[in-house]
Amino acid sequence: CGVSSLSTRSETRIVGGKNAAFGRWPWQVSVRRTSFFGFSSTHRCGGAVLNKNWVTTAGHCVDDLLTSQIRIRVGEYDFSHVHEQFSYVERGASKKIVHPKYNFFTYEYDLALVRLESPLDFDLHISPICLPATDDLLIGENATVTGWGRLSEGGTLPTVLQEVTVPIVSNDRCKTMFLRAGRHEFIPEIFLCAGHDTGGQDSCQGDSGGPLQVKARDGHYFLAGIISWGVGCAEANLPGVCTRISKFVPWILENSI
């Protein structure tokens, strides 16, 4: 888990980010909603591959959908191209499990698991991410967020997967940053915050549910967070807030066997 077999080189949004290299984040998925007639699907959120049968995303991404409305696209890179180096795979969902404590109003426990209708075949561009091995708070670590969310608040949607690196901050500092911006936010330990005081780089609408990944000392990436909520996009003192996955490893393992 947590290893990219393809290029680890970035090409030269998420906001303030850049195009990811093809296959660099092989666990990234597009959580999609089927059209009314079921002939097509549209991108709704991000997510991450946990194993051949399960992906994880944010609770708010699937809570209001019937299982039959959920489609999961794996190995995708550029929405505008059908033919790429390796083609994407799309699966229906056979089960969804939203965390029983998920709170629609506070976004606490904003986590869900989706079981695919048939197992994935791992490939160079499709593989799982590792789960956190410790309960380390990761303060000061650089994390990468990825997704097809808007390039600015209310702005355009990219077709190519975007990536941006942001520092993880302590929950106390996160609260202080929000206060500086005039907002009093409740940031319990089940949340993880990442962002710069000055803003400029952040996740945005459409990135929710996607992975916030950290590279461990052994070189493998693990799922530190699932993108949950924010105020605006990339504004000063308004960091992005994720569901802190180290708090949920037992629940994930218990439900995704």
Over the stretch 200-230, which tens digit does the pLDDT of each residue have? 888 988 899 999 999 999 999 999 999 999 9
- Indicate whether 224 and 164 sit together in one domain: yes
- Indicate whether 84 and 148 sit together in one domain: no
- Indicate whether 196 and 150 sit together in one domain: yes
CA atoms within 13 A on the CB side of 222: 18
Average pLDDT over residues 169-183: 96
- List, in sequence order, every residue forming a beta bridge with 213; answer none if it has no partner: 144, 223
The residue range of the domain holding 78 is: 26-128
Catalytic residue among 41, 208, 228, 246: 208
Tokens read off for 84: 């790429």
Q: Is 123 a catalytic residue?
A: no
Q: Would you say residue 12 has pLDDT above 70?
A: no
Q: Is 208 a catalytic residue?
A: yes
Catalytic residue among 60, 99, 125, 202: 60
Confidence of residue 10 (pLDDT cuts 50, 70, 90): very low
Tell me what pLDDT residue 7 has.
55
Q: Is 60 a catalytic residue?
A: yes
Which residues are within 8 A (CB) of 41 and not within 5 positions of it... i.e. 6 or more apart?
32, 33, 34, 35, 71, 73, 90
Tell me what pLDDT residue 32 has.
97
- Indicate whether 200 and 230 sit together in one domain: yes
pTM for the model stands at 0.94
- Indicate whether 155 and 212 sit together in one domain: yes
Tell me what pLDDT residue 9 has.
44
Catalytic residue among 30, 99, 110, 127: 110
- Percent of the chain at pLDDT exceeding 90: 81
Q: Would you say residue 84 has pLDDT above 90?
A: no
- Indicate whether 119 and 148 sit together in one domain: no
The per-residue pLDDT of the chain, averaged, comes to 93
Confidence of residue 114 (pLDDT cuts 50, 70, 90): very high
- Indicate whether 176 and 109 sit together in one domain: no
Q: What total number of domains does the chain contain? A: 2
Average pLDDT over residues 227-255: 95
Domain's final residue, options 91, 107, 128: 128
Residue 222 sits in a domain whose CATH number is 2.40.10.10
